[in-house]
Amino acid sequence: MDITTAFTRYGRPDRQYCFAYASNMHPEQIGARCATPRMVTVARLSDHTLAFFGKNRVWDGGMETVVAAPGREVWGVLYELTFGDAASLDIWCGARLDGGGVYFHYPVRLLDASGGRHAAVLYKKDVQGPPVPPSREYLAYILSGAAARGLPAAYLAQLKNLSAAPARYPVPRAGGIARGVLQEATCATCAG
């Protein structure tokens, strides 16, 4: 199923479908970043694994992405977003239309727990460099969101066993100017 087909599958051509596999799974975080995110289902991305690279200044550790890994899978949450919410999430995630951001939209095909197929985009890190473990605090936040969304117990155990390092400063740290402005104007009270 391609992305265009996904628009009609759910009956909403005015929506974007986004697969969250890390901190955006957390109900509190997605609620603060988007006015009306709708969780469609828990789903998995086959032949990929969760990995961390670069520097996440908010959480003092590596930044999440997915990388190809035959036989592995990444579980997460499929959201239906308005295009306004998708644009807000792009700013929060550092994804830019010109491709110059930290992340870019990566089209994927997902399977839900019942075997249903879904098309979506996810945020994929553009430049990886050497692997950098996430902070323990960030991994705990990701795990909290995954548990809150009902991801499979075996996957929660896999997340819990990922390598992590303690943060060297209090986290989460406030983001940059654009994120700070968005943080003050939380989408939790916006009207779609």
Q: Please count the residues of the chain.
A: 192
User: Cα–Cα distance between 83 and 17 in angstroms, integer?
Assistant: 10
Please give the structure tokens belonging to residue 70. 């035959």
Quick check: 31 and 101 in contact, CB under 8 A? no
Could you tell me which of 29, 33, 70, 79 has the C-alpha nearest to residue 48? Answer: 70
Cα distance between residue 38 and residue 42, in whole Å: 12
Q: Which residues does the annotation place in the binding site?
A: 138
Residue set of the binding site for substrate: 138
Does residue 102 contact residue 94 with C-beta atoms inside 8 Å? yes
